[in-house]
Structure 1
Amino acid sequence: MKMILKKVHVYLYAFSVGFSYLLLFPFFYYFSRKTSRYKYMNALRRFWGHISSLVVGILYSFDVEQPIDWSKTYIICPNHTSNLDITAMSIFVKTNDYCFMGKQELADFFVTSLFFRTVDIPVDRQSKIASFRAFKKVMERLQSGVTTIIFPEATIPDHYPPQLKDFKNGPFRMAIELKLPIIPVTSLNTWEILWDDGLKYGSRPGICNIFVHKPIETAHLTIDDADALRDEVHAIISQKLADYDHRRTDS
């Protein structure tokens, strides 16, 4: 019975996301027509994320290690275990000058296609040329002051419960080349609310707990430090996940 209820819940969540997207689509479409309107598109996306989740009892709680100065440009690197991570980041980022970098397939999905053909940047990792062009576009966005959210695992882990995967080098090389700070973000339990797209195990109401680590400055680093920076961010997130699991086990 519990699994049946979780399956019902995930379909209710999907309906909430899809229906609210249709209601807001005329505004999304209007804002997507010009680059100068992307900030309004992002503001509306934040509202959409709040509402579509709240309707089915999904909330987001952010524990921020250090206040974020949103007048600066960042590369934000969260771990990735759930489609809810995208919504969480849309809600967390308090500037409207931001974009996601994500897999090419998102340009074909119903509720993400408009974003990944305009404000966000898809990357086809099967093609070196396409990947190069995508990262070049991200670099241009960052240089123009657009904070960029990149999931360094590049995908949601296939196994359940999810384990942190190795990180790709791209965001860390870009951060060093552009001398931009990186913000590691640990999504602690979104997978418990909804793992991946929720189709296998369903979903449930609950609070997604997100820990936002203090920014890591890169101005003093060289490109030879990219691997070390990648490993540092991986270790920070991995340790936070281990601490969370330990506290949950003890309780």
Structure 2
Amino acid sequence: MPIDIRQFACLSDNYGYLVHDRETGETAAIDTPDAEAINRELEKAGWRLTHIFNTHHHFDHAGGNLALKDKWGCEIIGPKGEAGRIPGIDRPVGEGDSVELGASTAIVHETPGHTLGHIIYYFPETHAAFVGDTIFAMGCGRLFEGTADQMWSSLSKIAAMPADTKIYCAHEYTKANAAFALSVDPDNDDLKKRAEEVDALRAKGTPTVPTTVALELATNPFLRASDKNLQAAIGMEGAKAVDAFAKTRALKDSF
């Protein structure tokens, strides 16, 4: 594996990520929820911060940009659709752009929905996707700025990635997401099993992230909007997948 990934909890329920290219030593922070926590992890690992890869403009994703840039002189890369809202941005990027981290390369995908300019970073060589707030384990981001159509299209991009792709999402929301998922997909045996596993992990304080594309396809109601049983459970039999997704997202908003 040409990159090392360091995951750590910060703020109330965020995860921070450091991605380290082994060949060159270049290191990127995926978003900057907590500059002090990021600096502590860099010190523990003995790494030097060379880049910040922002997924979107929310404060718990870009709030540490300027402090880290001041300390490290790192390059800040972020979504071109939100360039005016990304503190200290040096390089705006969009769909299909390549982002180099030393000898490693990430592909940028635009995933509007949670915010209009949201992007994710996919490392194809290592099957790793850093998805911000687009998708969570058994969940997806709230539609603060975008539409259900946009978010369904964004989630479909992730669903089409190789099944073994690891999904590094930005929050530990899994236990609450599992409770909602069971309410709309109650006959899903894979989901029942996973919910039990999540309860056990959280009881020990163990992260439930990363997840995988395969696991989400089997248990995430927001990726299962075309499933007949789920559609029946939410009163949307025979609906278009995007319409069933919109109903599911609305139900989650009031759950």
TM (norm. structure 1) is: 0.31
Tell me: higher relative CO, structure 1 or 2? Use CA pairs within 8 A at least 6 residues apart.
Answer: 1
More strand by share: 2
